[in-house]
A and B are shown apart, each in its own frame.
Chain A
Amino acid sequence: MRAVLTSLLAGMLTALVMPTHAEVIFEKRSLYRNIQVTDDADRRCLKFANRQHRVSRQSCQFHDDPNRLVFDYGKLVFTAFLLNPEPERILVIGLGGGSLPRLMQELFPGARIDSVEIDPAVIEVAEKYFDYRVRPDDRVLAQDGRVFVRRALLRGQTYDFVLLDAFTGDYIPEHMMTLDYLQECKRLLAEGGVLVANTFSSSRLYPHETATFAAAFDWIWNLRRRSGNRVIITGNMPKPDLETVRERAAARDWRAYGIDLSANLELITQPSARELEARVLTDEYSPANLLNARD
């Protein structure tokens, strides 16, 4: 009797503490972090738990519709395809659960997608629990993103579309938040190539990030909803005419994937003069995490 009461009480306590009834279906301590895969009523999520009290959702997928994006930032990322509607070579740095490259496979069946992910355990999870399929011409590489970019430059490779998505909410790889790195990425872009970055920065780092992107590229677009991440879009092309892009957006309906292209375009802002005054982050000066922590 007492045992039953105790377990009942424990169950109630758990229900109170846990915000959702997500069931953990896989757990692993990788070289870099604690990885969790959880199942909810409607979705499966990949979480990185760095400390007991802080769990960040990295990637989620709806059970009934895996190609419909869950998070706002992902929906914003796809806006960038309006600038290069037929990419042949795509590079994704930071695989996570693979939800973004998976949708790219769906939308651009002919494109070759290279995904770079530093954590082999994350790759394993993406393939096993999020059903990310590596097609014959695609590659998934367990590598540091910056090392991959340098190697690709040495080989003279170029890409039509580059997605920088290596940051988690908790930690920024500082060598991947510098002017030098962005310049390397810029050299990786083919003529007309597009670069999109998903950034996690909070208030202190935010202007530094803006200034660093602005220093590396001739123009940038900021896309941000009131809550959460900011997405930066730029490319190896003159600054696009927004009217032309709006027309392209109107001709494309991706709402089935959760993406409202026309609405996304209205979120575009230009960096403010105050942001641009911030100190540019370089390989010599890159305290991104220290800046991000102080807010």
Chain B
Amino acid sequence: MATSKETNDALIVPAGRAPLIMLLAFTGGFSIMSIELLAGRMLAPYFGSSIYVWGSIITVFMLSLSLGYLLGGRLSLRSPSLGRFGIIFLVAGGTITPLLLGGNAIMEVVFAAVEDPRYGSLLASLALFFIPTVAMGTISPYAVRLLVDTVGHSGHVAGLLYFVSTLGSALGTLLTSFYFVLWFEVTSILVSLGLALVLCGVIALLVSARAGGGVAGDKA
């Protein structure tokens, strides 16, 4: 699909970087599901914890992820690099900030405006989680592009990355629901996830810069 536009079939990052990229994809997958579970916690005081509240949350996450995949694939067409990959993480981490600062205010407004908790929870989920989840959704397809060297290997690489990021999602789900909510406050967990994403971005940028292939280098 992308090969018609993409002339450069050579490996974009050295093969030794593969574990790093997989670790980043793992963290992305971990964060998505951890935040999804916390979404239930955040919405419950306003919209309850009925099945339709979870329906709203899962709908919004699936919708946002699908769009994120689309966007991540598109982004990977334009001079893909580890540095740019790092910037995706910085943006994803940053998009959690509005949740922390304005989450309750947004839910107050939605609660007052929409009487039906089904549509209230759907609207609140959209307002709070659409942008962060789209941002996190771009990670996987972009990571595939970074690791694919030949068309023949693309399925193998995609499979490996799905494996790693979905494994991260499984672990994020388990740890959050079994332990994190027992040990920490919702806001603390969200802040930590945001910081983890930002840290991932910084590491990717540093590694990329040390190899002389930073964002600026790519443009040149």
Q: In the complex, what's the smallest C-beta–C-beta distance from A295 to chain B, in angstroms?
A: 14
Distance in angstroms between the alpha carbons of A178 and B185 in the assembled complex = 13
Q: Size range of the interface on A?
A: 20 to 34
Contact B47 A144 (CB under 8 A): yes
Cβ of B112 under 8 Å from chain A: yes
Chain A residues with Cβ under 8 A from B41's Cβ? 283, 286
A147-B117, A290-B181 given as contacts; is B50 within 8 A of A174 (CB)?
no
Contact with B along A142-164 (1 / 0, CB 8 A): 01111100110010000000000
Contact with B along A206-230 (1 / 0, CB 8 A): 0000000000000000000000000
| Interface of B: prevailing SS | helix
Cβ of A246 under 8 Å from chain B: no
Q: In the complex, what's the smallest C-beta–C-beta distance from B16 to chain A, in angstroms?
A: 42
Cβ of B80 under 8 Å from chain A: no
Which of A118, A145, A287, A291 has the most C-beta atoms of chain B within 10 angstroms of its own C-beta?
A287
Cβ of A170 under 8 Å from chain B: no
Contact with A along B145-186 (1 / 0, CB 8 A): 000000000000000000000000000000000100110111
Contact A285 B185 (CB under 8 A): yes
A154-B112, A287-B181 given as contacts; is B186 within 8 A of A146 (CB)?
no
Contact with B along A175-208 (1 / 0, CB 8 A): 1001011000000000000000000000000000
Distance in angstroms between the alpha carbons of A15 and B64 in the assembled complex = 55
Q: Size range of the interface on B?
A: 20 to 34
Among candidates B50, B115, B182, B187, residue contacting A290 with C-beta atoms closer than 8 Å: B182
Contact A118 B50 (CB under 8 A): yes
Distance in angstroms between the alpha carbons of A206 and B50 in the assembled complex = 25
Distance in angstroms between the alpha carbons of A284 and B182 in the assembled complex = 11
Chain A residues with Cβ under 8 A from B181's Cβ? 285-287, 290
Contact B51 A146 (CB under 8 A): no
Q: In the complex, what's the smallest C-beta–C-beta distance from B51 to chain A, in angstroms?
A: 6
Cβ of A256 under 8 Å from chain B: no
Among candidates B48, B185, B186, residue contacting A118 with C-beta atoms closer than 8 Å: B48
Chain B residues with Cβ under 8 A from A285's Cβ? 181, 184-186
Q: In the complex, what's the smallest C-beta–C-beta distance from A70 to chain B, in angstroms?
A: 29
Q: In the complex, what's the smallest C-beta–C-beta distance from B183 to chain A, in angstroms?
A: 9
A31-B51, A154-B112 given as contacts; is B117 within 8 A of A144 (CB)?
yes
Chain A residues with Cβ under 8 A from B50's Cβ? 31, 118, 144
Q: In the complex, what's the smallest C-beta–C-beta distance from B175 to chain A, in angstroms?
A: 13
Among candidates B45, B51, B117, B186, residue contacting A181 with C-beta atoms closer than 8 Å: B45
Chain B residues with Cβ under 8 A from A283's Cβ? 41, 44-45, 186
Among candidates A146, A151, A284, residue contacting B187 with C-beta atoms closer than 8 Å: A284
Which of A118, A173, A285 has the most C-beta atoms of chain B within 10 angstroms of its own C-beta?
A285
Closest 3 CB pairs of A and B: A144-B48, A175-B44, A284-B185
Q: List 12 interface pairs A-B (beta carbons < 8 Å), by A numbering.
A: A118-B50, A143-B117, A144-B117, A174-B49, A175-B45, A175-B48, A175-B49, A180-B45, A283-B45, A287-B181, A290-B181, A290-B182
